[in-house]
Structure formats: structure tokens, C-alpha cells
Amino acid sequence: DTGVSQDPRHKITKRGQNVTFRCDPISEHNRLYWYRQTLGQGPEFLTYFQNEAQLEKSRLLSDRFSAERPKGSFSTLEIQRTEQGDSAMYLCASSPTGGNTEAFFGQGTRLTVV
């Protein structure tokens, strides 16, 4: 396993369409995190999972956003009715059991809403 994998790397969509991104964490990492990064800014926390349980959601995660991790392995992040303001890099990270260990980030999915 070479690291956190995200798919697709790039996505261009029209405003109003739904999009879904996938994240495969490092094997046996039970914690998985989603972040959003806009141009020139640091990543902003969106949500995280421990196994299949979604433990915390940021206020940034509006009701158009939903994340799942049904089997405690890969995770999906869906954005419904996309808006131009959703254009950003969506980053996924994972960390090993226990939580008090560093998080490793994937390469991200670059979303452009036109």
C-alpha cells in the first residue's frame, strides 16, 4: 500500500450537477478525514470517521454535502446541486488506530464548477 488514494484527480462539472469523490485510506487506518482547500488557503476540516462511524462534522459541511464510509474502508464524499463556490481541492487523510498519530494526506480531487 503506497498511501491514501483519491479518485478522480480532477473533476469539472456544471453548476447544479451532483458529484461524488472516492477516498481509499492506507490499509488498516481506522480514521479517515475529509478536508477542503481553496486557492491560497490552508485545508479546512470537513468531517471524519472512525471505522464506519461519522464522529464529527464541521459547520462547513452544508446539507448539500454527505460523506459515507459504509464498510469502514473507503469513503465517498458527495456534493449535490453543486455551486461555483464549491470549486476547491478536496483532500482525504487517514491515520492509524488510536488517533494520537499523524495523518497522511492523499493527492486530492480538484473540483471545478462551471
Partner 1 sequence: GENVEQHPSTLSVQEGDSAVIKCTYSDSASNYFPWYKQELGKGPQLIIDIRSNVGEKKDQRIAVTLNKTAKHFSLHITETQPEDSAVYFCAASISDSWGKLQFGAGTQVVVTP
Cα-trace Rg, the chain: 13
C-alpha span between 113 and 13 (Å, rounded): 5
C-alpha span between 79 and 108 (Å, rounded): 15
CB of 76 to partner 1, least distance (A): 18
Q: Is 48 in the site for partner 1 (CB under 8 A)?
A: yes
Which is nearest to 36 in space by CA: 64, 15, 55, 16?
Answer: 64
CB of 81 to partner 1, least distance (A): 27
CB of 39 to partner 1, least distance (A): 11
Question: Which spans of this chain sit near partner 1 (rule: CB under 8 A)?
Answer: 4, 6, 31, 33, 40-45, 48, 50, 55-56, 91, 93-95, 99-108
